[in-house]
Amino acid sequence: MISENQKQIYNSFLYTSRKVKDKPCRLRQDFSSVDTTTELVLKKLDILFSRYQHIKYNDFFIAPYMVHSKDEYYDLSFFKTQRAIKCYSLYMAQKELADPDNESTITDCKQGCSFIYNFCKENSLTLAQYKTYTTGSVPIVLQHLKDHKINFYVLQGLEVHSLLQVTEPQIVNFVINDFYKIYTETKNNFIKSDKLKTVIRAAFKIIEEKLLQLTQTPI
């Protein structure tokens, strides 16, 4: 039997594989005739996504097309392989260094800013408190970066340079592989950007004001 999660996984795969080739897509509604192989693959993918909840379906299914070629076709079974996971890792690394003024990058950064606002709201934190908040010895911003809740451009907008200076480099590199290399490249891209730095700075100004209002003690 196909669960609702598995139906969403299948339709995300279907939509992505059609969209990447600029073809129309009709999402599947009836799963009563799904073959055994497809059912088993969906169950494995469901387990994968449940274990790594930061993975977005769309990113996972579009990754091989972005890493290799849009001319190829990757069937559902491909995505249960280690090669698919490798493609996802490579694709996410590519996205970190993407053109900062690309609309896709700006959209990802807006989502990251929204995530920070919601996290702070749920945990009664101001933006300043979020920047220094830690879980154990790991700054929460690095954990969120690792989980792809935010990206390096959002990190640049947060201006957490002082936090990084007092955090052990071994911890930083343990949490994020090649952190300092990516950090330097995205810092240069961020500074040179025409749109992104304005969008992020404006977003954080609004977020900071809203969070301060929420955390003020009523008189």
DSSP, residue by residue, 127-152: HHHHHH-EETTEEHHHHHHHTTSS-H
Same domain assignment for residues 89 and 187: no
Q: Do residues 65 and 47 make contact, with C-beta atoms less than 8 angstroms apart? A: no
Query: Is residue 15 pLDDT above 80, yes or no?
Result: yes
**pLDDT-based confidence at 28, cuts 50/70/90?**
very high
Q: Do residues 157 and 202 make contact, with C-beta atoms less than 8 angstroms apart? A: no
Question: And the tokens for 50?
Answer: 């449940």
Asked whether the whole model's pTM tops 0.95, one would answer no
On the 0-12 / 13-18 / 19+ scale of CB atoms within 10 A, 81 is exposed
Looking at per-residue pLDDT, the higher value among 71 and 38 belongs to 38
**What is the rounded CA–CA span in Å between residue 25 and residue 46?**
22
Same domain assignment for residues 119 and 190: yes
Task: Find the mean pLDDT for residues 174-186.
Answer: 90
Same domain assignment for residues 112 and 25: no
The number of distinct structural domains making up the chain is 2
pLDDT score for 219: 45
- Per-residue model confidence as pLDDT tens digits over 90-139: 998 888 999 999 999 999 999 999 999 999 999 999 999 999 998 888 89
pLDDT score for 166: 85
Task: Find the mean pLDDT for residues 69-87.
Answer: 93
pLDDT score for 103: 93
Same domain assignment for residues 92 and 120: no
Q: Residue 180 sits in which domain range? A: 103-215
Q: What is the DSSP letter of 218?
A: P
Same domain assignment for residues 29 and 112: no
Same domain assignment for residues 110 and 201: yes
Q: Do residues 17 and 74 make contact, with C-beta atoms less than 8 angstroms apart? A: yes
Same domain assignment for residues 144 and 71: no
Which of 203, 195, 170, 18 is closest to 103 using CA atoms?
Answer: 195
- Per-residue model confidence as pLDDT tens digits over 134-174: 888 889 999 999 999 999 999 999 999 888 888 888 888 88
**What is the rounded CA–CA span in Å between residue 150 and residue 119?**
12
**pLDDT-based confidence at 218, cuts 50/70/90?**
low
**pLDDT-based confidence at 217, cuts 50/70/90?**
low
Q: Which of 66, 96, 126 is the last residue of a domain?
A: 96
- Per-residue model confidence as pLDDT tens digits over 192-216: 999 999 999 999 999 999 999 887 7
Q: Do residues 141 and 130 make contact, with C-beta atoms less than 8 angstroms apart? A: yes
